[in-house]
Each structure stands twice: as structure tokens, then as C-alpha cells.
Chains A and B, each alone.
Chain A
Amino acid sequence: MRRLLLLAATSSILATAHQFHFGHIDANWNSRAKTLELAVRLHADDLEQLLRQRAGRPLEIDRDAQAEPLACAYALETIAFDESRFRCLGMKVTTHYATLFLEAPAATPPRRAKFRSFSGDFPDQINTVQRLTDDHRTGSAIAFLAADQWKPLRP
């Protein structure tokens, strides 16, 4: 038997009028530095709602010092590549998007990934991972639907 962790979240029985619900990672394996570099792009509205619930106050992600550590923690919770141990380098927020930058040592390109940001909150969430090696695309983007867990990154 597993135990449920109850978390305040943004989901509702009825979808709001303007949904975003799309996340994307550029996952670059840097062959020289032997690192895996992730640029994780999430919709700022989705992320802000979630961080407000977590902070328990009306936080604004583009001008609140707590936003970045909270967002980094959330990214590290919901994103995994093999057994990589990521370090969050920071977050860049524009008017509509929040991009988180994660880095981990990686001797070889990643074999599998899990990208579940907002997957438990929005049933129509799509997340995608674009694989790159030394900033060159390798194959098409891998899509993660709400129910998807680990998926292979190599054919």
C-alpha cells in the first residue's frame, strides 16, 4: 500500500478559459564537458500558480526572491534523466515563460527521462524533450503525456 501526499494544487474540475499546459526541455549532452544541460521552459502562469500554492502566499515569479529556489525545487522533483543529480543554475522569467537551467555530470548521453511537471495537475499537459548533442538536435522531440512516466530517449 502506498500513502498519498496531499498537496494544494491548481487543478479544478472545470478547466479555466485559458490553458497553457505545455512544457519543453532542450536536453543537451555536452560531450566535451561531459555534462547534461537542461533548459526547461514552462508557462509562467502555470508555474506561478503552483508556486503560490507552495509558498502559501501571492508570490509573483518575476520579482520574488523565493520564486527561483521554489521553482528549482519543483523542477528537480518532477524531472529526471537516468540517475543524474542535477544542480539548478537558475531561472529566467520573461512575460510569459519561465526557463529553468539544470546541469548534471554525464559521461554519456542520457538513455531515459521522466518529465512530469504539471502532469498530475492538468490532464491535458504535454511535455516534450528535445535531445541534443553538443547543441545539435538528435532526432525528434519525445512527448510525455500526463500518464507517462519514464520513457527511453534512444531508439
Chain B
Amino acid sequence: MRRAALLAPFLLLASLAFSQSRRSPLDKFRQLEEILPTPNEYRTASGAPGHKYWQQRADYQISVELDDINQRIIGSGTIDYHNNSPDTLNYLWLQLDQNIWEKHSDTPLTETAPDFRRFPLPVARRLMDDPFEGGYTIGPVRDAAGRELHKHINRTMMRVDLPAPLPPGQSFRFSLSWDYKINNSKRVSGRTGAEFFKKDGNWIYEIAQWFPRMAAYNDVTGWQHKQFLGTGEFTLEFGDYQVKITAPNDHIVASTGVLQNPAEVLTPVQRQRLERARTSPKPVLIVTPEEAKAAEKSKPTGKKTWVFHAKNVRDFAFASSRKFIWDAQGHNAGGNPVMAMSFYPNEGNPLWERYSTQAIIHTLNIYSRYTFQYPYPIAISVNGPVGGMEYPMICFNGPRPLEDGTYSQRTKYALIGVVIHEVGHNYFPMIVNSDERQWTWLDEGINSFLQFLAEQEWEPNYPSRRGEPSTIVEYMLSSAHDPIMTNSESVVSLGPNAYGKPATALNILRETVLGRELFDFAFKEYSRRWMFKRPMPADFFRSMEDASGTDLDWFWRGWFYTNEHVDISLEKLTQYTIDTRNPEIEKPLSKKAKEEAPVTLSAQRNKPLRKRTDDYPELLDFYNKWDEFAPLPSEKKAFESYVKGLEEDERKLLDPAMNFYALELKNVGGVVMPVILEVEFNDGVKEELRIPAEIWRRQSSTVTKLIPTRKEIRSITLDPHLETADADPSNNHWPRKPVKSKFQLFKEERDTKRNPMNEGKTDAAPPSSGSN
């Protein structure tokens, strides 16, 4: 610490202000208007839908057959497309996602070379042996009168030319048929597929992106027909669906929508159990494990057609298998009755029967609190080949225990976490219908943030993967990391970029920048504004500012538009005290300072030497006896005169007990952030100082903060609650403190604890051969 006297308190403030007057060439608080689209009558400057907001609509009537012998989907359907735009349309675009597995798909063509030292088998199989040739076969497209329409397939998109321009406010009905080979997930994995169980010869089907879906047409992109390469998910229109699913008659079908013909497809016992489940306080088995086991050995004697209706959804998916156990529990979502259901094979137990439906209901409770009440009547979680994927009212989740029925802690939390995440996607983007093909983060990031909130209310200290600031530091340190505002297909390392970083950013916005009350109000406002509508990033940014009453442009700029990281360093602390000019005060202080000053080595060694003045005291004169620290009469008089010239309030400022600490802060990482300081005083008392990010507004690289206090400061810690994703803890202390590295900590904790569930079971050893 450096102690310096002040000539006057006013001078100090002036000098600090001067030191900060140089502007950085890049203003991190510059408003985003130059980047964000200009508000208009469709999307307002406040972030709300404008008074002329519009969106298209597509209603579907589909019949589909699941071919369990050849693993094929055979479908046909009618689409009613409603042009609510102000534009006349000459053609329509549909998405053909299955064509990602078509022979000449862009996806394998644009893949880069693998590591030739470790050539992955699936790649080799695809290139050399038996490539999976999926993709749609599309039949004729006909209008309502049965006339064939011209169509053109452009890889994963299909254009249908209209017989006449479709004016605003008009609808167009057309029909088409299609079929495709379902991918075997073990060989070609994806968001949909079939899983084969060798030991009983049965399949689980998770069927999604299985019909030609209307591409979105909107006021921002026009037709969103960016090709599907595998990463950017979907942009879809809302509509009503009537879907007839024909499957082997021993299958159980789980689907988006409400089952219309239970009497035709369920047994009386199953219907009775389902009825009981509506009011049960815990999940009720509709199909028991024993019944599912028995079904595994059965052979179908025919087919059954399951009819489902779904209102106001943007997509439709289903799952089918004879292996399914089925449990259900009714739930009241703020007055809206919801049936929460899980479908899983015996291989999923004991995990699934314990956690899946519970996690569904927990998700609905927590997400609804932060957004809006869940509006759909169904919420389903299915276990099958897909690791984790979401569709309206239904999602697919992968984690399972080992064959012996034991599971690791990781598997348990993987299941709970993925069910929360995928069910949570009902809110974003199934209802708040953002453009996933363009912006993955706008649903995945927001959903990962809400997943974190839901997980933290599941049990104490739930080990969330994402949300806590510390979880994203290493990624943000990488110079190769992309800004969050990067297109879905171009992002390198999508998980940290589109899931983890925005989840942390929103958590910081909530906890550190805005506070929970302001954030929660603004976030709920955004969710409600855009429920069943299609927001863009600017609508989110603007809504959060509008409803919180806070200019957050610096935050969006730093966290969403740059690849900088957070690292603020406590560089220097300088102590200043008031120069009162009172010799009765200042002289003793000067004396004390002199006495406390270090004694040089020579002075120490010379001290015991006998001096000449010891032998000849007559050599001592006035100056040897004069106390330089004794106030002189002239000094006292000068002080009295000085005080007389001051106003009463100015005199009060001459307080010798006041300390002024100038704390120099350096922005090493680049992202400007609030400065959270824990100040410990010499008496052991700690105080927290929370400085808004605007401290950096004039100079974003270095600032000096003045801390006035009557006490003396012992130490300062920056970011004491680990809330800002500060990358380097070693510069977060004054005085500097050593921080133990991971390597040191590991060496100290060599004897890592193993999974207690495993240790506690004598039969918990993993099997030596693979399952399935």
C-alpha cells in the first residue's frame, strides 16, 4: 500500500477524474442500434410484436404407416397453407429433412476429413462399405382438385409451384405422399431413428422430421430455406395436426397430441389405469414392466391405427414399440390439466420409473413460473435411441442404467437433466417459436438457463453442467471461440457456444447485473410477448431492456457479439488521507511515519558505534535538540487563519480519520462487467461493494475506484462469490494470494472417492459384454 497525503480532498477527485478521461478507441457502451435491425410495424423498438405482426399457418392431415419389417415410413397427407403475410406468394417451400441421408446430400459432401491416424468405423462404413441411403421418395404433389403441381427438390428443400399466385389472406390446400427408410441409430445416429435389441429382436422407433414440413416464411428472412446440414434445427409454422399412425397391433404409440380413439387401441384395463392416473399423486403404470416383457415375446396379429389431434403446434413426432412400459400422472398446470407420461423399455429401469415422469412435472412447474402456464394437454418423455431431442409435447431421452440395473451418479443426473432440458424445450422453441436454423442459442441457450434454474430446485447442490459462471471460463478463454451471435451451422463447438455461454450470460444478467426481481419480470414479459410467435435476437435484447428499464447494450455487445472473456485484475491500492493543515495533527503523523519508516542496513550497523558528539557534547547545538515535529507558533497561526477562511461545511471535511483508497482495476479480458468487491478492514469486518459495469463507460481498459472509509483496509477480494466468470482468480486479491492449481489440488486429493452406490453393492460390477 502506498500512503500519500492530500492537499485538499477536492484535488483528489479532480485528479482521478482526469486520469480516466482518455477514451478507449472502442466504446464498449456504444449503443446497438447500428447492429440491430430497424424497428418497424412488425417488430417494435420495445421488443414486442408490432401492431401489424403476422405469421403464416399450416394445418396438416396425415396418415402414416410404420413398417416394422423393413423399418420404413410410408405417409400421405394434406396441408392447408394460410398466407397471413402482406405478400402474394407464387410458390411454397417445404423442408425435406430426411434428405440429409440422401446419397448426394450436402452433409457428407461438406464434411471435413477425419483424423487419418484414427479413422472412425462409421465414417469408413459410410464411405466404403454399406452407406445408409436414406432420403425421401416424394410422390406427386396435387392441389385440391387433384391436379399435379410442379415441384422442384433442392436437396433438403422442396419448392411447390402454385397454380396461381396466393394473395394475402388466402389459403391453399395441397396433398402429397412420401416414404423413406428409417435410420438404424446404431449405424447412423441423429435426432430420429430406430434402435434394435438383439436379445429379443424388437425395435424402438423414435420418429421425427418424418414428413415434408412447411418452411417458415416471415418478415425477417422471407422464406427460411437455408439448407439443413445437421446442426441448425428447424423453423416451422404453427398449425393443427390430425395424424393417423398405423403400427403393428402389439405396439404402444406415444405421440404429440391427444389420443382420439383410446377404445380402439387400448385395452379396457389400460384405459382404466389411464383414468386413475389423471388424479393420482404419483405415476401410475398403464403398461407394467411385466406386460412390456411379455409383449417383447409376442408377434403382431395385425395393425392398429392410433389417431392423434394436436392444436397449435409447430411440429409433430411420435414413438412406437412393443417394448414400452408406460407410466402417467395427471398434473394441474395453473388450471390446465396436463397428462405427464413416460415410455421406456425394461432396459430403462430402475432409473426411468423413478425419475422421468417426476422430472416432467418438475419442469412444467418451474418453467411455468418463469414464463407462462404450460398450454398443452400432454407432456411425454420417451427412452430410445436418441440421446436428447425435443418436439411439441414429446421428447426423446437416452440415458439408461447398465444391464445389471445399477447406474452411476453421472447417469442419474444425465437422465434428470436431459428430461428437464427436452421437456423445457416445449417453452423454447416449441411455443416461443424462434428460428433455430439461424440462431441455436435463442432456444438452446435460454432453455439451458431455465434448465439450470429447474435443476437447482430439484435437490440441494444439484450438479448442473451449465449455468454457473465457472463452467464457461475455459471456453471463453479460447481465442477460437465464436461470438454467440454466429449462425448455427457455422459455430465451432456448439455446446459451449449456444448452450453453455448464453446460459451463464443469462444467469449473470439475473444474479449480478439486474437482480432477480427485474430480470424475472423482464424475462417473463419476453416469454409472454412471443408465446406462439416468432422472436428474433433483437426482440429478446430489446424486450429485456424495455421491461427491466436498463440499458444492457454493453452486456449484449460483450457477451453475445464478441469473443472476449472476463478477467478483471486488482492492480494497485493506494491509500490517501486528508491533509488537515493542522500542525497539531499533521506533525505527530509525520513523526509516526518517520519512526515507522524502514531503517537502512548501514544505519542499523552504525547505530552502536560511538559518535564524536558522545565525547564532545559541546558540538550539539539547537538543531540537535530541536523537535522538528513540534508545531511552531507560526504554523498554528497559519492554520487558524486557513480555518477562518473556510465555510462551516468545508471545515467538517477536515477529518483526519478519513481514508481514501484509490483502487486501480485493469480489464484484462475485454468484456466489461460489474466489479464486485469484498473489502476486509483491519478490525476484521467485511463489506461488499457492488459497482455497476458503467464504471468502465469512459475508459474500458483501466479505471481507478475511490473507496472512502474511516477504517483501514486489510484486504480486497474481487468476485468473492464467483458470479462474473472471471477467468483468472490469481489477480483477484489485494494483496496478491497464491491460488492452488487443479494439479496441486489433485495431488493433495489423490484418493478420489468412487461412486458410493457402486461401492455399496456387491453385484455392481459392470458386465463384461455389451448390451443390445
Contacts and interface: CB of A to CB of B under 8 A. Distances in A.
Same complex: yes
Interface of A: 2, 4-22, 24, 26, 28, 37-39, 41, 43-45, 48, 56-64, 89-90, 92-96, 99, 101, 116, 119-121, 123-126, 128, 130, 132, 135-137, 140-143, 145-147
A60 B474 contact: no
B755 A63 contact: yes
B492 A39 contact: no
A57 B769 contact: yes
Contacts of B115: 116, 119-121
Nearest to B492: A124
A120 B752 contact: no
A116 B117 CA distance: 11
B365 to A, nearest CB: 23
A17 B206 CA distance: 14
A60 B401 CA distance: 10
B121 interface: yes
Majority secondary structure of chain B interface residues (helix, strand, loop or mixed): loop
A21 B136 CA distance: 31
B728 interface: yes
Nearest to B490: A124
A38 B764 CA distance: 32
B231 A13 contact: no
Contact of A95 (B113, B117, B465, B758): B465
Given A11-B122, A20-B496, A126-B475, 16 more contacts: A9-B123, A13-B188, A14-B101, A14-B190, A14-B230, A22-B475, A28-B741, A39-B742, A48-B410, A57-B770, A90-B752, A99-B746, A120-B115, A126-B492, A135-B738, A147-B113
Interface of B: 100-101, 107-108, 111-124, 126, 188-191, 230-231, 386-390, 402-403, 407-411, 413-414, 418, 421, 463, 465, 474-475, 477-481, 491-496, 499, 728, 730, 738-744, 746-747, 749-750, 752, 754-755, 757-758, 764, 766-771
Contact of A62 (B107, B108, B408, B495): B408
19 contacts: A6-B119, A6-B124, A13-B108, A13-B122, A14-B189, A17-B191, A17-B389, A22-B475, A24-B475, A37-B741, A41-B474, A58-B402, A58-B770, A60-B408, A63-B764, A120-B115, A120-B118, A121-B114, A125-B493
Contacts of A45: 414
A150 B219 CA distance: 47
B119 A4 contact: yes
A113 B389 CA distance: 37
Contact of B123 (A11, A41, A48, A147): A11
Of the listed residues A63, A94, A126, the one surrounded by the most CB atoms of chain B closer than 10 A to its CB is A63
Given A126-B478, A143-B478, A120 B744 contact: no
A26 B408 CA distance: 27
Of B108, B118, B387, chain A has the most CB atoms within 10 Å of the CB of B118
A136 to B, nearest CB: 6
B122 A141 contact: no
Contacts of B107: 13-14
A127 to B, nearest CB: 9
Contacts of B496: 20, 22, 126
Contacts of A16: 189-191, 386-388
A130 B742 CA distance: 12
Q: Which residue, B111, B408, B418, B479, has most C-beta atoms of chain A within 10 A?
A: B408
Interface centre among A101, A137, A141 (most CB of B within 10 A): A141
Most buried by A among B117, B465, B495, B730: B495
A125 B389 CA distance: 21
A69 to B, nearest CB: 15
Nearest to B101: A13
A134 B4 CA distance: 34
Contact of B409 (A8, A95, A130): A95
A128 B478 contact: yes
Contacts of B494: 15, 19, 21, 124
Most buried by B among A4, A14, A48, A89: A14
A14 B100 contact: yes
B121 A92 contact: no
A116 B390 CA distance: 32
Contact of B122 (A12, A38, A44, A140): A12
A29 to B, nearest CB: 11
Nearest to A25: B474
Closest 3 pairs between A and B when the two form their complex, measured CB to CB: A120-B115, A9-B120, A143-B480
Output the residue of B402, B478, B499 with the most chain A CB within 10 A: B478
A5 B742 contact: no
A34 to B, nearest CB: 15
Given A4-B119, A63-B755, A22 B741 contact: no
Contact of A14 (B120, B191, B403, B411): B191
A130 B474 CA distance: 9
Contact of A124 (B126, B491, B747): B491
A19 B475 CA distance: 14
B122 A9 contact: yes
Contacts of A116: 115
A66 to B, nearest CB: 9
B477 A141 contact: yes
Nearest to B231: A15
A61 B389 CA distance: 24
B403 A58 contact: yes
A18 B417 CA distance: 12
Nearest to B477: A141
Given A21-B494, A145-B492, A7 B465 contact: no
B763 to A, nearest CB: 13
A20 B758 CA distance: 26
Contact of B118 (A7, A57, A136): A7
Contacts of B112: 123, 146-147
B766 A64 contact: yes
Contacts of B747: 89, 101
